[in-house]
Amino acid sequence: MGRIPAINQRFTGAYQATEQAQRIAELQAEVEQLRAAQSPDLEAQLEVLREQLKAQSGELSVEVELIYPNPHQPRQTITIESIQTIARSLEKDGQITPLILIPQGERYLLWDGQRRWEAAKLLGWGTLQAVTAPMPKDLHRKALLTFIHHEDLNPLDKAEAIVKEVADSTGIKVDKIPTVLSTVLRRLERGQQINKLTSLVSATPEEQQQGLDQLGISEVETSLLLSLLDLGLNPASVKANLLSMLVLPPDLKQAIREQGLKGAHALALAGLSAKILQLTERQATKERVAATQQVIEQDLTVAKTRELVAQIKARYLDPKPTDSKEITAAARGLEKLSPNVMEATSRDQLKELRQILQQKLAEIDAVLAS
């Protein structure tokens, strides 16, 4: 990665209030780009942002009760362990880094520092230090772009955030998005055009629009695909790796959010459904929860998780009987025993055959009766 430009250089000189607001918005966009690129200089740049905001509005002591979290925060999963770790740091060393807040009347919207805020509440602190910034446009989109390419954002949070953003930008209902996406991708796969769609991920907006126009898809499908491409996402990958997260049973979603269960492991464990195991929902959930705990406690790989799922299935599912080649061959052999063949055969051999057949018929009756 090349050297990133110093953000503080964007604030050299004096600006009017409206110009400052515009510069801060640009600065926020720069921060989001750095996060999306997972830049190692991100924290240094965020510190520059805080210093610039401090220079303009000063550092404030804000009551914890007056701060509320971003309702569009894509990261819905914040573990109590991570909050407790930060709480110990705050208790030992005090607050070193101020929050970044957006004034909302007499209250403040939290833009950066949610875990510090949660930790302060855990400690019972009354106030926190903060700097303030103006409200950016398209808050959910900005928050999503902040986190969308983070490796530590779990796939369930990511899927829900992406679907919400697509719904907001296209007007398609949340519950319809998976169906629309699956339908258009299947049609493109049948027409061997899926590679054309994939090539548009890195194209310009104009090229993306032109490319989708050439695929002969509907207006609704075009708007959905454009929304995903605009986020830098491959629609086929979104369908394969993220949308499946939305239909996971509640216990697996909870394990992802609270226990760090990985998406691929959750998809494997989803195979332990009531329908597949031929159990009640309660029984299947009990089996799935127990298996999930084993996967987490033993830190099983995806392959080992699939093996565990197969073992559990084997306990409940009887193998379906299949046609035997030996039985087929024996039946065909008996069919060939015509009266002429038997007339030409010795009586001792026929008696021996009759004894074998009577024994096998008894064994067949026993199997059928079991």
Helix (H, G, I), strand (E, B) or coil at 18: helix
Highest mean predicted confidence (pLDDT) among 113-122, 132-141, 150-159: 113-122
Task: Provide the Cα torsion 86, 88, 89, 92; round to 10°.
Answer: 160
The answer to which of 32-36, 78-82, 324-328, 334-338 has the lowest mean pLDDT is 32-36
User: If you average pLDDT over residues 71-76, what whole number do you get?
Assistant: 61
Output Rg (C-alpha) for the chain, integer angstroms. 32
246 pLDDT higher than 80: yes
Q: Quick one: which of 149, 154, 156 has its CA closest to 245? A: 156
pTM: 0.48
Residues of the chain above pLDDT 70, percent? 76
Cα gap 190→368, rounded to integer Å: 46
60 pLDDT higher than 60: yes
Specify the pLDDT at position 306: 93
Q: Where are the domains of the chain?
A: 7-137, 154-244, 249-316, 325-369
Residues of the chain above pLDDT 90, percent? 29
Cα gap 74→302, rounded to integer Å: 26
CA of 61: how far to CAs of 92, 113, 233, 301, in Å? 19, 15, 40, 47
User: If you average pLDDT over residues 160-186, what whole number do you get?
Assistant: 89
Pairwise pLDDT comparison (319 vs 341), residue with the higher score: 341
The set of long-range contacts for 88-96, using a CB threshold of 8 Å and a minimum separation of 24, is 89/119, 90/116, 90/119, 90/120, 90/123, 90/125, 91/123, 95/120, 95/128, 95/129
> Euclidean distance between the first and final Cα of the chain, in Å?
70
Of 3.30.420.40, 3.40.50.80, 3.90.1530.10, 3.20.130.10, which CATH number belongs to 7-137? 3.90.1530.10
201 pLDDT higher than 50: yes
What's the mean pLDDT when you consider all of the chain? 80
Specify the pLDDT at position 75: 59
DSSP-derived letter for residue 64 is G
109 pLDDT higher than 60: yes
**CB atoms < 10 A from the CB of 7, how many?**
22
Pairwise pLDDT comparison (23 vs 311), residue with the higher score: 311
User: If you average pLDDT over residues 319-345, what whole number do you get?
Assistant: 83
Specify the pLDDT at position 9: 39
Maximum separation of any 2 CA atoms in the chain, in Å: 118
